[in-house]
Amino acid sequence: MARNKRKSEEARRRRRSRTEANPIARYFQELKMEWSKITFPERKELYRSTVVVFIFTIIVTAIISVFDMLVTKVFSYILPT
């Protein structure tokens, strides 16, 4: 039993040293740990956020369009064709 315990400790040490030596392996190991910390929004919250983004996009589009029309009118008076 002590022999199996010693082997498993050695295997653990080898695994640790492998990830410490290989930055790509360490990156994926840390990625896996961080991925488990992610909390995804519930359906209701996701729906609300989507609606807010959609409305905000429409408002900004309208503001830019009005500004574009005003600038076009100003330049058409300044530089008549």
- Average pLDDT over all residues of the chain: 86
Q: Whole-prediction pTM value?
A: 0.54
C-alpha–C-alpha distance, residues 76 and 70, integer Å: 10
Q: What is the pLDDT of residue 25?
A: 85
AA letter at 37: K
Using one digit for the tens of pLDDT, what is the confidence trace for 37-75?
999 999 999 999 999 999 999 999 999 999 999 999 999
Q: Which two tokens stand for residue 62?
A: 């309208």
- Which distant-in-sequence residues (6+ apart) come within 8 Å of 41 by Cβ? 49
C-alpha–C-alpha distance, residues 42 and 25, integer Å: 32
The domain limits of the chain are 1-38, 40-81
Q: How confident is the model at residue 23 (pLDDT cuts 50, 70, 90)?
A: confident
